[in-house]
Amino acid sequence: MKPAGLGWGIEGRYDGLVFGVDEVGRGPWAGPVTAAAVCLCATDVPAGLADSKVIPARARESIARQIAHFAIAEASVGEIDRLNIRVATLLAMARAVAALADRLGAPAMVLVDGNIVPQMEFPAMAIVRGDASVASIAAAAIAAKVHRDALMVRLAEAHPGYGWERNKGYGTAAHMSGLALLGITPYHRRSFKPIAKLVR
């Protein structure tokens, strides 16, 4: 049974396609920031859908497999360092929406988690804590997290010693120990203070 509030809700107010968009990976020291855009309909809201932060990893993966219409986009570490994390996050969101629109057609409305709407050609509305209250945004958060977590596991295989398979690039003790022992990789965000200190 789906948690209250995450069934078919605000999306039903609009005629036409409605996309939900969210991002993951603003805080890590390594890896891209990743966004997903999702289009749901009343009959395909995944079972068990809820805020991605309260769902175990295996359940997130199961829910992600139920999402029929989605697009994933990233802003790279280079873009994060050049633009700053806020601008890069909005860029990843806009890319995800554009990719899904290319596939499905223009949305009547884009529902964005947070309080800022990315620059895009479609009508959009920001919803604070939308990942906990709007089905399409919650689904986007899960799709983005499952994608980015899998990416960080693959990067951990290529760059062992930082614990990315567990910490997903966040600033844990294991990650800091890896930096002290092995130094900085091309996937580290040099504009972030803990990494910037090591660059000097």
pLDDT single digits (tens) 43-55 = 888 888 988 989 9
Whether 34 and 148 have beta carbons less than 8 Å apart is answered as yes
Question: Helix or strand or coil: residue 173?
Answer: helix
CATH code of the domain in which 85 resides? 3.30.420.10
- Structural domain of residue 52, as residue ranges? 10-150
Total count of domains within the chain:
1
DSSP annotation string for 1-65: -PPTT-SS-GGGGSSS-EEEEEEE-SS-SBS-EEEEEEE--TT-PPTT---GGGS-HHHHHHHHH
Whether 21 and 36 have beta carbons less than 8 Å apart is answered as yes
User: Considering the domain boundaries, does residue 177 fall inside one?
Assistant: no
Angle at 156 between CA 185 and CA 30, to 5 degrees: 45
User: Considering the domain boundaries, does residue 159 fall inside one?
Assistant: no
Alpha carbon distance 46, 192 (integer Å): 36
User: Considering the domain boundaries, does residue 160 fall inside one?
Assistant: no
Alpha carbon distance 187, 129 (integer Å): 29
User: Considering the domain boundaries, does residue 3 fall inside one?
Assistant: no
**Distance from the Cα of residue 56 to its chain's centroid:** 16
User: Considering the domain boundaries, does residue 114 fall inside one?
Assistant: yes
User: Considering the domain boundaries, does residue 178 fall inside one?
Assistant: no
Sheet of 70-75: strands edge to edge? Answer: 70-75, 33-39, 18-24, 109-113, 124-127
Q: What residue type is assigned to position 65 of the chain?
A: R
Residue 8: per-residue pLDDT: 64
User: Considering the domain boundaries, does residue 31 fall inside one?
Assistant: yes
Residue 44: per-residue pLDDT: 85
Residue 7: per-residue pLDDT: 64
The closest of 98, 91, 108, 96 to 21, measured between CA atoms, is 96
Residue 6: per-residue pLDDT: 62
The ranges of the chain with pLDDT < 70 are 1-8, 200
Whether 183 and 162 have beta carbons less than 8 Å apart is answered as no
Whether 89 and 75 have beta carbons less than 8 Å apart is answered as yes
User: Considering the domain boundaries, does residue 182 fall inside one?
Assistant: no
